[in-house]
Amino acid sequence: MAVDKKVFGYPEYDANGEMILSTYDNAYRDMLMDVRNYKLQAGDVRTIEKAGEEVAVLLYNGDITVSWNDKEENATRTSVFEEGPYALHVPKGTKITVKANAESEILVQATQNEGDFDAKWYTPADAPWGYSSKGLFGDTALRRVNTLFDYNTAPYSNMVLGEVLNDRGNWSGYIPHDHPQPELYYFLFDREEGFGASFVGDDVFKSTHKSFSAIPGGKVHPQVCAPGYMMYTCWMIRHLDGNPWTDRIDDPRFTWLYDVDIKGNEITPKK
C-alpha cells in the first residue's frame, strides 16, 4: 500500500546517524530523488555507491576526507553561515568514501541517471555567494545564493544543487513563484530556536532547524524567517525528462511589485 504523500517534514537522525528526507517510495516520493543527511563521528567511514544513480555529497559542517576514482580531497567547513560549500558530484556506479576527521554532517543527494559524465569536486571558489533581490520590495527579500551545479553548468545532470542564506527576518523565493520540476528545501537556523514559515501552494508550515519542504511541481513556494535569525536553505531540484529547470515562473498576481519602490509604508512607481 502506498504511503500518503506529504510536503513538509521534521526528520531526526536515527541510531546510525542517518536522516532520511525523500526516497523513491516514501511520503515525499514526488521529489524523484533520494535525499539523506548523515551525522558522522570522528573516525567514521561511510561508503556510497549507487548503480544507475548520480550522486552529490555536500559538507554542511565538520572535517572530512572524500575519496573516489583514485582521487582524494579534504574539506573543512565550520558553519554554513560562515563559509562556502564543498561538494562532490559523480555519475552512476562511482564509489565514494567519506571519512570523518571530526564530527561532521553531510548531505547525499541522488537521482536516477543512466548517462555518464566526469566527476567534479566543488570548492567555495566554484560556487561563490551572491546577493539577489537587492533594491526590491523595500529590501525585505535580501538573500545570498550559491549554485553548485544546474542545467547551465551541468546539462548532463538530472539535478540542481545550491544554497541560500536569508538575511535576518527576510523573505526568500519572493515573489511567489513555481516551476513544473519538484524542489526540496532543507532548513537550518543560526540558532536552534530559530523559525520561519514555508509556503507550499495554499498550505503554510513552520520551518524549524533541520526541517524540510518537499514542493511538488506547480506549487508556489516562498519562504520567510523570523527577525533576529538567519536561515540557511539547501535547495535541490530534479529536472523532468525533456523539461529541465532553468528559471522560476513568477505568479502574475504579484509581478506589479517589480515596478514600484517600497520605503516604509510608502509605495511609489519606479522612475
Averaged pLDDT, 158-173: 97
Q: What tens digit of pLDDT does each residue of 9-18 get?
A: 999 999 999 9
In this prediction, residue 23 carries a pLDDT of: 98
Instruction: Please tell me the pTM assigned to this model.
Output: 0.97
Q: What tens digit of pLDDT does each residue of 25-67 get?
A: 999 999 999 999 999 999 999 999 999 999 999 999 999 999 9
User: Does 271 have pLDDT greater than 90?
Assistant: no
Per the structure, the complete domain to which residue 56 belongs is given by 17-264
Distance CA 18, CA 29 (A): 18
Split into its structural domains, the chain has a count of 1
Is residue 213 assigned to a domain? yes
| pLDDT grade for 89, boundaries at 50, 70 and 90 | very high
Residues ≥6 apart with Cβ < 8 Å to 256: none
Is residue 271 assigned to a domain? no
Q: What tens digit of pLDDT does each residue of 90-139 get?
A: 999 999 999 999 999 999 999 999 999 999 999 999 999 999 999 999 99
In this prediction, residue 2 carries a pLDDT of: 72
In this prediction, residue 165 carries a pLDDT of: 97
Is residue 4 assigned to a domain? no
In this prediction, residue 144 carries a pLDDT of: 97
Residue 92, domain CATH: 2.60.120.10
Is residue 131 assigned to a domain? yes
Is residue 178 assigned to a domain? yes
In this prediction, residue 1 carries a pLDDT of: 63
User: Does 261 have pLDDT greater than 80?
Assistant: yes
Is residue 7 assigned to a domain? no
Q: What tens digit of pLDDT does each residue of 166-204 get?
A: 999 999 999 999 999 999 999 999 999 999 999 999 999
Is residue 9 assigned to a domain? no
